[in-house]
């Protein structure tokens, strides 16, 4: 760890990283959310900054104690909804050599947000109609800058080959350069401090398989980015 922290191999590069989980409002006091704490994305941002990169972080609903781990060097934009995250990432990615979409983006938002708090006095059980949010990662891939490397994340349930196959399909669908797949479940991946990431590239190759602290896993992901980029420029 000490040695890794001394390697400034990302000097001269700008990273745009998203982390956390979006929240889609239902009414002024309620939202649809997910269990992403932002720890893994913050660890990627912190590791990239320590390795010399300029890091722009779009932080979606990350607890301040977690966000503090990003460190002083990271420039933070805070966002709430998927729409806000999309806007922020479009702006940050326009300056970035490497884009890492580790945020958990809500797939759906509530079609009509209630201006007043929903109340039982309204009678009956309310039903929510949902509409699909734009795919931020796909949009970033469409607007990719020359030489820009785009990394997606996929939190998947399941194990082994099944998990990898789903990751491969997702990588193809999204058109990203690399996809970091992590296994999640009721007790895995979220509040845990340790993580397991498998990184796939466009040839469907496993280019990294790392387990350990979210920081160690972040460094393994950054190593995969570095070798992917050096393979492209040669």
Per-residue DSSP letters for 38-71?
A: SHHHHHHHHHHHHTT-EEEEEEES--HHHHGGG-
What is the size of the binding site for ligand CTP (CB under 6 A)? 14
Q: Which of helix, strand or coil describes residue 116?
A: coil
Note whether 135 binds Ca ion by CB under 5 A.
no
Note whether 60 binds ligand CTP by CB under 6 A.
no
Report how far residue 19's alpha carbon sits from residue 3's, in angstroms, rounded to the nearest whole number. 26
Sequence-ordered list of residues with C-beta below 8 angstroms from that of 190, at least 6 positions apart, any chain: 35, 36, 37, 184
Note whether 137 binds ligand CTP by CB under 6 A.
yes
Within the chain, where are the H helices? 2-6, 39-50, 64-67, 82-93, 136-142, 160-174, 214-233
Report how far residue 165's alpha carbon sits from residue 139's, in angstroms, rounded to the nearest whole number. 23
In whole angstroms, the minimum distance from the beta carbon of 99 to ligand CTP comes to 10
Q: Nearest-5° angle of CA 85, CA 89, CA 95?
A: 160
195 catalytically annotated? no
Report how far residue 185's alpha carbon sits from residue 191's, in angstroms, rounded to the nearest whole number. 11
The site string for ligand CTP over 196-215 (x = CB under 6 A, - otherwise) reads --------------------
Note whether 70 binds ligand CTP by CB under 6 A.
no
Between 66 and 118, CB nearer to ligand CTP:
66
Phi, then psi, of 82 in degrees rounded to 5 = -60, -40
In whole angstroms, the minimum distance from the beta carbon of 22 to ligand CTP comes to 8
The site string for ligand CTP over 143-172 (x = CB under 6 A, - otherwise) reads ---------xxx---------------x--
In whole angstroms, the minimum distance from the beta carbon of 119 to ligand CTP comes to 31
Stretch that binds Ca ion, among 4-12, 58-66, 104-112, 179-187 (CB under 5 A): 104-112
Contact indicator for 16, 88 with CB cutoff of 8 Å: no
Q: Which of 34, 37, 133, 182 binds ligand CTP (CB under 6 A)?
A: 133
**Binding-site sequence positions:** 107, 117, 153, 170, 174
Q: Which residues bind ligand CTP (CB under 6 A)?
A: 82, 101, 103, 105, 107, 133, 135-137, 152-154, 170, 174
Catalytic residue set: 34
């Amino acid at each position: 760890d000490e040695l890794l922290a001394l390697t400034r191999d990302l000097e001269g590069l700008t990273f745009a990283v998203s982390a956390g989980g979006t929240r889609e409002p239902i009414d002024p006091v309620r939202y649809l959310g997910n269990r992403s704490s932002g720890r893994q994305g913050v660890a990627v941002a912190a590791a990239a900054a320590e390795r010399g990169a300029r890091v722009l972080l779009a932080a979606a609903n990350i607890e301040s104690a977690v966000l503090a781990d990003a460190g002083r060097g990271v420039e933070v934009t805070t966002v709430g909804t998927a729409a806000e995250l999309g806007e922020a990432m479009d702006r940050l990615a326009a300056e970035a050599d490497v884009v890492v979409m580790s945020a958990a983006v809500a797939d759906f938002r509530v079609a009509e947000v209630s201006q007043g708090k929903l109340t039982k006095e309204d009678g009956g059980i309310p039903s929510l109609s949902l509409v699909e949010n734009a795919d931020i990662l796909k949009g970033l891939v469409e607007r990719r800058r020359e030489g820009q490397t785009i990394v997606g994340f996929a939190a998947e349930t399941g194990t082994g080959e099944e998990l990898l196959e789903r990751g491969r399909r997702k990588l193809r669908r999204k058109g990203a350069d690399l996809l970091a797949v992590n296994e999640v479940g009721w007790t895995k991946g979220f509040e845990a401090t340790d993580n397991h990431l498998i990184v796939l590239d466009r040839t469907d190759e496993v280019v990294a398989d790392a387990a350990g602290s979210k920081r160690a896993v972040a460094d393994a992901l950054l190593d995969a980015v570095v070798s992917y980029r050096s393979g492209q420029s040669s």
